[in-house]
Structures are given as C-alpha cells and as structure tokens.
C-alpha cells in the first residue's frame, strides 16, 4: 500500500487525506495512522447526494452515520482499520493527532488552523494500517495566528463566548453560544456559520455554504440545547 493510493481512494468519496504519522507501539495497534477530513464543497456534495435533506431529521447524527458507512468501505478496500472522532466520550484525540501529522496549528478559539483552509476544515476519521507506509513531509509553515496581531476571531462573537483570559486558548462558553444560535437574534450564526470563525482572514474560499452551515448549527443546537422545562 502506498500513500498516493490511499489519497486517491479517499478523494473518490469527497473527503480528503490530512496527513498521518507512525504511532508508538504503546498508543494504538497499527504502524501507520492516516487522517481523513473535509475541506471545500466535495464532502458536502457527496453527503447531500447520498442523504437527501428531507431524511436528515430521522437521525441525530446523519453526517457521522454517512461517514462511518463510507469510511468502512474505504478501510475494507485498503485493508485498514478505521477510527472516528465521534461516538464518545471517551473521544479519540483527533486534534492532537492532527498536530502530530503536521501542517495545522492550535488557534485561540479552539479549532486547528490550516494555512490553506483556515478554520474551515474538520476531521472525519482515521485509517489505521498494520504496516509501515512512507508518508510525505507535511507543510512546515508557521501558524497564521502568530502574525495575526488583532485576532478578530476573539472579538466577533455577539455573546462574548470566548474569554481569552490571557492564555493561548480562550475558554469557550458553550451554553451562551448554543442559546444564541437557538434564538432568532442568532440567525446570522445559524445560517452563515460561527461569526468568530468567519472573522478569520485565512481560508475565506473554504467558508461552509449556507446549507452546510445551517445543517451543522441545527444539529449542534438539537444535541446541546438543554430540554425546555415548560
């Protein structure tokens, strides 16, 4: 198995390979871990074609269900195992794995930043191979956040959900965020995606479209809004 074959097989699904690394023997069973993610419109298009909008309310996590079905097929074709970022707790440490695979950096509001995709990318799974596969060198650019003096991502949230507290990573007020998105006042976040993420000048070409942003926000609210007491 070579890296290019893995890339091509994953690309045929609408998802993309996000690098990989060779885990230690005491971490996971396998010699090579390859991360799979999404950026740009292709994954959303493939998901939309497979799972029509009017059937998405029947499943609390339709994108995860689709991902698992597709990546299980890819893993079987490539003779690999598959791990997923969802389904916890406990969760697999995908962000730590991504930093290890290289090319991305922590950002002050939480999501990892990529020099091309900005904050508009996510991880869908990991393929684990029990053989050693040669991996290309990841891009070695500095974090875009280092040279971003104003850090507009930290000031753009209408509910001040991010409290930098002078640390490298802001505290995130999940309750305030979810309450705002669920309210008509939060329509901009609901249909256009997180304003803090959108304030970042990097990766503007990859900002999720309205349908994808609304899908993520609707599911985020449905899965995190406390049940009404009335």
Token pair 């690309």 is at which residue? Answer: 11
In this chain, which stretch among 61-69, 121-129, 194-202, 205-213 interacts with ligand SF4, using CB under 6 A?
194-202
d(CA 104, CA 141): 9
Residue 113 per-residue DSSP state = E
Site track for ligand B12 across 111-140, x = CB under 6 A: xx--------xxx-----------------
Q: Residue 16 binds which entry of ligand B12, ligand SF4, none, with Cβ cut-offs from 5 to 8 Å by kind?
A: none
Site track for ligand B12 across 59-98, x = CB under 6 A: --------------------------xx----xxxxxx--
Site track for ligand B12 across 187-216, x = CB under 6 A: -------x---------------------x
The most distant pair of C-alpha atoms in the chain lies apart, rounded to whole Å, by 58
117 contacts 18 by C-beta, under 8 angstroms: no
Which lies closer to ligand SF4 via its Cβ, residue 20 or residue 203? 203
d(CA 162, CA 165): 9
Tell whether residue 39 is a contact of ligand SF4 (CB under 6 A).
no
Q: Where are the alpha helices (DSSP H) in the chain?
A: 3-11, 42-50, 62-78, 94-101, 174-182, 187-192, 195-198, 210-224
Smallest separation (angstroms) from ligand SF4 to the CB of 165: 15
Reading the block at residue 202, the tokens are 């990097």
Q: Residue 180 binds which entry of ligand B12, ligand SF4, none, with Cβ cut-offs from 5 to 8 Å by kind?
A: ligand SF4
């Amino acid at each position: 198995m070579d890296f290019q074959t893995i890339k091509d097989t994953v690309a045929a699904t609408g998802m993309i390979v996000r690098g990989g690394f060779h885990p230690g023997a005491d971490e996971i069973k396998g010699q090579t871990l390859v991360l799979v993610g999404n950026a740009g419109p292709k994954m959303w298009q493939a998901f939309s074609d497979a799972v029509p909008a009017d059937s998405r309310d029947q499943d609390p996590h339709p994108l995860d269900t689709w991902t698992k079905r597709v990546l299980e097929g890819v893993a079987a074709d490539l003779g690999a195992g598959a791990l997923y970022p969802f389904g916890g707790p406990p969760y697999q440490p995908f962000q730590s794995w991504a930093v290890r695979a290289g090319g991305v950096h922590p950002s002050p509001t939480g999501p990892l930043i990529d020099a091309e995709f900005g904050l508009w990318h996510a991880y869908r799974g990991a393929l684990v191979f029990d053989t050693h596969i040669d991996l290309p060198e990841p891009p070695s650019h500095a974090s875009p956040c280092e040279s971003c003096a104003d850090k507009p991502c930290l000031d753009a949230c209408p509910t001040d959900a991010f409290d930098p507290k002078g640390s490298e990573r802001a505290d995130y007020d999940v309750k305030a965020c979810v309450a705002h998105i669920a309210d008509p006042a939060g329509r901009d976040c609901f249909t256009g995606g997180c304003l803090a993420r959108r304030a970042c000048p990097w990766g503007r070409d990859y900002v999720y479209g309205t349908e994808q942003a609304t899908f993520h926000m609707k599911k985020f609210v449905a899965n995190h809004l406390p049940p009404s007491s009335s």
